[in-house]
Every structure is written in C-alpha cells, then in structure tokens.
Chains A and B, each alone.
Chain A
Amino acid sequence: AQTVTQSQPEMSVQEAETVTLSCTYDTSESDYYLFWYKQPPSRQMILVIRQEAYKQQNATENRFSVNFQKAAKSFSLKISDSQLGDAAMYFCAYRSEGGSQGNLIFGKGTKLSVKP
C-alpha cells in the first residue's frame, strides 16, 4: 500500500523569504500523480500544484515549485517570496494513475506560519 510522510508538523517563515516543505512517499507503482494541497484556516482545501510521475521536469505555479526526485521518492514544495496569505496547512497527496478510482492518499500535513 502507498504511504505519504510529511516529517514537519509545523514550519515558520518570514514574509518575503523562501520556505521548503518536505514530503516523501512509498509506492511500488511507476505511474502516479503527486499533489500539494493548501487549507487556509476555516477554509476549504485547494490544489496548489500537481506533478505527473512520468514528467522529469519539476512543476511550477507562480511562487510555488516542487523538487520531484522520483528515485528518492521525494516531493518537496518550495514557496518563494512568502506572503501572509500563504499561512495554512499544507498536505502532500498521492494518487495512482491506473484505474478510475482516483482516491487520494494524504500525509499528516504541515502547518505553515508566516511572520510579518
């Protein structure tokens, strides 16, 4: 069975600085998707960024980028020029590529605080 591990329960970053959130996963599959979701306080979870395992190029979305190391089964999220609105719980998630189920496997989350 696949597992996702986020080893940092909490992280803190100064506004305008860069922070990296860690995520490792375990799978025997070769094709899959990886995601970072953000859940601001009292708001719903939204997708930040996704990575297809077959793509070697790291995904980027504006200030958010990932470092995807398939052999090491590592999928870290880098947030550049941190803003106060980035404060949230961040969840790393895995999904198999095959079949039509599509259910996500999540890590425990990392709570990110942004200091002004």
Chain B
Amino acid sequence: EAGVTQFPSHSVIEKGQTVTLRCDPISGHDNLYWYRRVMGKEIKFLLHFVKESKQDESGMPNNRFLAERTGGTYSTLKVQPAELEDSGVYFCASRRGGGSSYEQYFGPGTRLTVT
C-alpha cells in the first residue's frame, strides 16, 4: 500500500508569489488533514476534509490560504500571496473513515521557504 505523498518536497518562492502544495492520501482514506510546523514551534492543525467536504478549517491562518479536495481524492493547499511568516513545513495526513480511533498516516511534508 502506497503511503501519503506530498509534492513538492521543497519550494522556495518570493514574498507575494503563489504556491500550490499537493497531497495524495492513502487510497480509500476519507479523512485528510493539513498541518503546519513553523520553525521551533508546534505542529499546528490547519484543516480537515472528509471526502471532498471541509469538516473543520478552524486552523487556517487567514484567507490567503485555500484548500481543496476535488472528488475526494488528492488535496491542494494554495497560498496566495505568500508572506514571510508562511515559511515552514506543511504536513498532510490521512485516516480511514469511521470513528476517530484510527491512526493518521503522515506524508513527508513540503518545506516552504518564502524569501
């Protein structure tokens, strides 16, 4: 079974530019999560999809961030326009459907550097 994959592994962009991160969850996993870790800080929850629906987006920092999960498969997270404080590692995780007891499987992360 293929794991959670994320693309790109690293992105360097200038302030004001747009970046789109992609996450491919494990096949069949209805739940998809985005998290972010800013250097030296905790990994913070951004949002949660159940299939194609946003279940919880309370962690999204502001309206410069847009997440989509068309068709309930892969997900994208767009940052537009990027700011310096958006730098960090963005993790995606997926989980089987049903109750919350199932394990979350993480991708390797995308390291975003905004200069």
Contact = CB atoms under 8 A, between A and B. Distances in A.
Nearest to A105: B45
A103 B91 CA distance: 13
A46 interface: yes
A100 B98 CA distance: 8
Contacts of B93: 104
Interface string B31-42: 101010000111
Interface string B84-115: 00000001010100011111101111000000
Contact of B42 (A4, A96, A102): A4
A63 to B, nearest CB: 20
B3 A33 contact: no
Given A91-B43, A102-B48, A108-B40, A45 B91 contact: yes
Interface residues of A, number: 26
Contact of B45 (A47, A100, A104, A109): A104
B20 interface: no
B42 A108 contact: yes
Nearest to A50: B103
A44 interface: yes
A78 interface: no
Contacts of B18: none
Given A44-B109, A45-B91, A46-B106, A97 B43 contact: no
Interface of B: 3-4, 31, 33, 35, 40-45, 48, 50, 55-56, 59, 91, 93, 95, 99-104, 106-109
